[in-house]
């Protein structure tokens, strides 16, 4: 069965001045809404409906003959007709892949998926404001007009059956950010991950690639992720951040254990607990002292 959005092995049915026409060995076609092609390429043969799809002449391999088999991808041309290509797209149905935005319009964006015609990302399928040349994780789907389009609404496509355990390091791409919950991440472009809001430090945006540590595997299999190392390791980094900040401020910093979490985050991009741990270490090591409403380097 010839299907949009799939790489398939098809058979050369006949040659033509404009290219070659390919068919599937399973050539009885039913009209469905799942992406099966049922349009003007149908013809009657042996009392069966047979589907043919064109591979344009410029892509026809040299020496091709009737009966030969070719691996092709099926999509639609500029006139909305099914067409085959020997070029391999960057994404097929059933996959989640980060693609680059090459054009933004009022009705939607267009993404580079490795074919001559860029892939349409409708405005309604965008989960955040997109930027040209940025990459976003998308899935491929067949719309109501039986055309292939991209969607950024990929949360429902992710699995909660990851192979990772607590303390494992993982990589992923941010698919959305909720100020009240945190940043949702597609780990390996496959699995559910979340950076909780109390772990969000710095400017995290949709489309960002992240590397973090699994802090918890929840009962539903989804992963909680931290972008920070374990506390005793992170303390070294945080202590150095504080010392560097003090050096830029003339050896002083207007922060102490009574400062608000927001002020500490704005100044140092760390949580109040992390700040207190690092300051405690620096004080014990006699590298700082408390003065007024802040700290000073010794």
pLDDT tens over the chain, length 298 residues: 788 999 999 999 999 999 999 998 765 443 333 344 444 344 444 445 578 899 999 999 999 999 999 999 999 988 888 999 999 999 999 999 999 999 999 999 999 999 989 999 999 999 999 999 999 999 999 999 889 999 999 999 999 999 999 989 999 999 999 989 999 999 999 999 999 998 887 788 999 999 999 999 999 999 999 988 665 567 888 899 899 999 999 999 999 888 988 898 888 888 888 888 889 889 888 899 998 889 999 8
Domains of the chain: residue spans and CATH:
7-85 (2.40.50.140), 96-155 (2.40.50.140), 158-226 (2.40.50.140), 231-297 (1.10.10.10)
For residue 223, what pLDDT is reported?
97
Q: Where are the alpha helices (DSSP H) in the chain?
A: 231-248, 261-268, 272-284
16 Cβ contact list (under 8 Å, min separation 6): 54
Between CA 66 and CA 104 the distance in angstroms is 43
For residue 229, what pLDDT is reported?
67
Rg (CA), the chain: 27
With CA atoms as reference, report the closest residue to 23 among 45, 5, 33: 45
For residue 29, what pLDDT is reported?
40
Between CA 61 and CA 115 the distance in angstroms is 18
CA–CA distances in Å: residue 168 to residues 191, 198, 229: 14, 20, 11
Could you tell me where the beta strands, DSSP code E, fall in the chain?
7-16, 19-23, 42-45, 48-51, 53-56, 69-76, 82-85, 96-104, 108-112, 119-122, 135-142, 148-151, 169-178, 182-187, 191-196, 209-217, 223-226, 252-253, 288-291, 294-297
Residue 225 near residue 170 (C-beta atoms within 8 A)? yes
Q: How many residues belong to the chain?
A: 298
For residue 38, what pLDDT is reported?
41
For residue 49, what pLDDT is reported?
59
Does the pTM of the predicted model rise above 0.85?
Answer: no
Residue 3 near residue 17 (C-beta atoms within 8 A)? no
152 Cβ contact list (under 8 Å, min separation 6): 121, 125, 126, 127, 128, 136, 137, 138, 175, 206
Strand partners, 200: none
Phi, psi of 185 (to 5 degrees): -125, 140
Q: At what angle do helices 261-268 and 231-248 cross, to 10 degrees?
A: 70
């Amino acid at each position: 069965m010839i299907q949009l959005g799939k790489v398939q092995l098809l058979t050369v049915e006949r040659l033509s001045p404009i290219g070659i026409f390919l068919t599937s060995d399973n050539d009885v076609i039913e009209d469905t809404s799942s992406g099966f092609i049922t349009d003007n390429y149908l013809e009657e043969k042996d009392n069966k409906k047979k589907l043919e799809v064109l591979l344009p002449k410029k892509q026809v391999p040299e020496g091709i003959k009737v009966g030969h088999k070719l691996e092709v991808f099926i999509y639609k041309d500029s006139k909305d007709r099914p067409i085959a290509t020997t070029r391999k797209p960057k994404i097929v149905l059933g996959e989640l892949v980060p693609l680059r935005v090459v054009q933004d319009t009022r009705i939607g964006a267009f993404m580079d998926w490795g074919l001559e015609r860029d892939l349409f990302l409708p405005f309604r399928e965008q989960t955040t404001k997109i930027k040209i040349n940025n990459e976003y994780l998308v899935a491929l789907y067949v719309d109501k007009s039986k055309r292939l389009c991209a969607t950024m609404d990929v949360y429902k496509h992710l699995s909660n059956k990851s192979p990772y355990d607590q303390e494992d390091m993982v990589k992923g791409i941010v698919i959305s950010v909720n100020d009240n919950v945190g940043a949702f991440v597609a780990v390996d472009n496959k699995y559910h991950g979340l950076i909780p809001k109390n772990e969000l430090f710095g400017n995290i945006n949709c489309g960002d690639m992240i590397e973090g540590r699994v802090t918890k595997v929840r009962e539903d299999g989804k992963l909680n992720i931290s972008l920070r190392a374990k506390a005793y390791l992170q303390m070294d980094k945080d202590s150095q951040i504080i010392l560097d900040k003090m050096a830029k401020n003339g050896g002083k910093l207007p922060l102490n254990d009574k400062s608000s979490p927001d002020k500490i985050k704005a100044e140092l991009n760390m949580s109040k607990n992390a700040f207190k741990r690092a300051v405690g270490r620096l004080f014990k090591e006699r590298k700082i002292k408390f003065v007024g409403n802040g700290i000073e380097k010794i």
